Amino acid sequence: MTIVGGVFLAASLILMLLDIKTPVDPAWAAVVICGFPIMYWAMAGLILERQISSPLLITIAMIASAMIGELFAAGEVAFIMAVGAILEDKTVQRAKKGIKRLISLAPGRGRRIAGGIEEMVPIEQVKPGDVLRVLPGEVIPVDGEILCGNTSVDQSVITGESLPVDKAAGDGVFCGTMNCFGAVEIKAVKVGEDSSLQKLIRLVREAEDKKAPMQRVADRWAKWLVPASLAIALITYLVTRDIVRAVTILVVFCPCALVLATPTSIMAAIGQAAKNGVIVKSGEALERMGRVDCVAFDKTGTLTHGKLVVSDVISFRPGFSGDALLLLAASAEVFSEHPLGKAIVARAKEQGLALQPAEDFRMIPGKGVCVTINGRSTLCGTAAYLCENGVSLHNDAPAALEKVRRQGKAAILVSQGEECAGLIALSDMLRDSSKSTVAQLQALHTGTVLLTGDHRQTAEYLAGQAGITDIYAELLPAEKAQRIQELQDAGRRVCMIGDGVNDAPALKTAYVGVAMGGMGSDIAVEAADIALTGDDIDRVPYLKRLSNAAVRLIKLNIFLSLAINVAAIVLSMFALLNPVTGALVHNGGSVLVVLNAALLYERKFID
């Protein structure tokens, strides 16, 4: 409809230039199509919200222009304002599907055991103290405590830890986490709305509600623009007794260029960001990114690849090479579904090692595996597991274990017969670009912080490699959001960068949330204001530079639009402009704003 109004307005201009008279001026169509909605917004704001807004000034100018027969001027200001509103709407559209996906993670039923009988019941019927059985591959339906059984639990949805956590009797488990291996029986402790997952859902909802949209620049200034325009127009009329001058002042006072200053700059920046693998969901997010002075990183999947790889192969047996140890461990783990075992097998295959046949495979959840290779018992697992099976640890084993643990790595001991043959360490590797990203942000006078649910040793080791000194480890989702809120309460403007479901509350709480879109969860992407489509963390400094430039351009455009308006007002007071030429002049300011935005789109912010 705005395009239709523009067509009729163009027809009116052509007829006016050719001095062709028609019974009805085509500009009336632009006034009706583009002007009536503006009049509605103006009256609604004035009557219902008792606010003076930019649509009120446009309405006054339209009515005054129409009253003296200057319909083109009335249609022009209405059309420009309608275009500005459309551009602004395009920059603030955001999807809000993350909450629904988060809710879908909560299991609807659980295996309750009562009187020795197992039955599937709706989760609403489960009460604290009930005993539930959770089989391998099932989602844990409540927060609880393991009564019997051993397993490994993928807690990434809650804590963000990259490794499954071994669990035994007495250990706590979270609702929404995945039971990877052994069957366990748990006692329900927190159910329904009290569970960790439901608290996570509430955190995301509350953080979303706290984020009110920024008020439009033109509306913020309308409180003095409207009285000022009326006062100047009235004084000019009283002094000159020329109604045309007064109406011209009202026309040129219309903040068309001011309305376009922000959305055009933002749309240009959003378009350029999209070309470089960054999806910015709203103009508000881009404006906020330009004011960010602290970037908080999640660890797993953000600073790191989120994928376990073999980092160290340490042989304790003289003459037993690292490749021989890796081959032995991979042959033992070939049937394992544990992420550590899979990573060991993957490394052996990468190196072209021919795996040996293994027999009598047994896996003890939370401890390790046992197989027979070449007639000899081979174990891969924890130190306690090897000791339980009569294996004596090598003298070098304790020191080697302590070293890899200080580096935040997972360790698997490998034995053959009754002898501990060596140790294999695995870790989540730092992204190649993480260190340079942190350095670039610091060069932009932007602080960096690490927020992670992982162990402190792991966090400190990887943060040290990346160049981050501010570290908060072993955080639950609520604690991540709380840390960000504390930083913001202290006056910082925090950008949170994460990839997991557990990062959603922090992404929502932060001044700006950026999600790793390529490998990140859908929920994290929906919760964030900005998504990196290719998981290129080095796009964060680019985004900061682009946002800084966009904010500077917005300020420049606002200055230019006000300067043009002031000049046009002075010219109108001296009758050097009439409503039509005044409309064209201040329309030239709108064109200048758009051209500036186009130049921003073409600028390069990546070396």
Asked if 583 and 73 count as a contact pair (C-beta separation under 8 A), the reply is yes
Asked if 463 and 302 count as a contact pair (C-beta separation under 8 A), the reply is no
The tokens describing 206, both together, are 């509350």
- How is domain 107-194 classified at the CATH fold level? 2.70.150
Residues with active-site annotation? 298
Asked if 308 and 163 count as a contact pair (C-beta separation under 8 A), the reply is yes
- The count of other CB atoms within 10 Å of the CB of residue 530 is 28
Burial degree of 271 (CB within 10 A; 0-12, 13-18, 19+): middle
Q: According to CATH, where is 3.40.50.1000 located in the chain?
A: 278-304+430-544
**Distance between CA atoms of residues 565 and 571, nearest Å:** 10
**Distance between CA atoms of residues 330 and 357, nearest Å:** 10
pLDDT at site 91: 47
The tokens describing 470, both together, are 């501010």
pLDDT > 90 in the chain, percent: 16
Burial degree of 345 (CB within 10 A; 0-12, 13-18, 19+): buried
Q: According to CATH, where is 2.70.150.10 located in the chain?
A: 107-194
Which residues have CB under 8 Å from 457's CB, separation 6+? 405, 406, 407, 408
**Distance between CA atoms of residues 145 and 190, nearest Å:** 10
Determine if the pTM surpasses 0.75.
Answer: no
Cα–Cα distances in angstroms (integers) from residue 95 to residues 288, 427, 528, in the given order: 19, 35, 10
pLDDT at site 36: 83
pLDDT, one tens digit per residue, over 369-405 is: 999 998 899 999 988 899 989 888 888 888 998 888 8
Task: Name the more confident of 391 and 224.
Answer: 391
> Lowest-pLDDT range, 27-41, 437-451, 497-511, 513-527?
513-527
Q: According to CATH, where is 3.40.1110.10 located in the chain?
A: 306-429
**Distance between CA atoms of residues 275 and 15, nearest Å:** 42
**Distance between CA atoms of residues 183 and 161, nearest Å:** 21
Asked if 173 and 182 count as a contact pair (C-beta separation under 8 A), the reply is no
Burial degree of 225 (CB within 10 A; 0-12, 13-18, 19+): buried
pLDDT at site 422: 92
pLDDT, one tens digit per residue, over 142-162 is: 889 999 988 888 876 665 555
pLDDT, one tens digit per residue, over 560-589 is: 888 888 888 888 888 888 887 877 776 677
Asked if 509 and 403 count as a contact pair (C-beta separation under 8 A), the reply is no
Class of domain 306-429 (CATH, top level): alpha beta
Burial degree of 478 (CB within 10 A; 0-12, 13-18, 19+): middle
- How is domain 278-304+430-544 classified at the CATH fold level? Rossmann fold (3.40.50)
pLDDT, one tens digit per residue, over 471-511 is: 998 888 888 999 999 999 999 999 999 876 678 888 889 99
Closest CA to 126 of 138, 147, 140: 140
Closest CA to 498 of 444, 456, 548, 453: 453
Q: Count the residues in the chain.
A: 607
pLDDT at site 415: 92
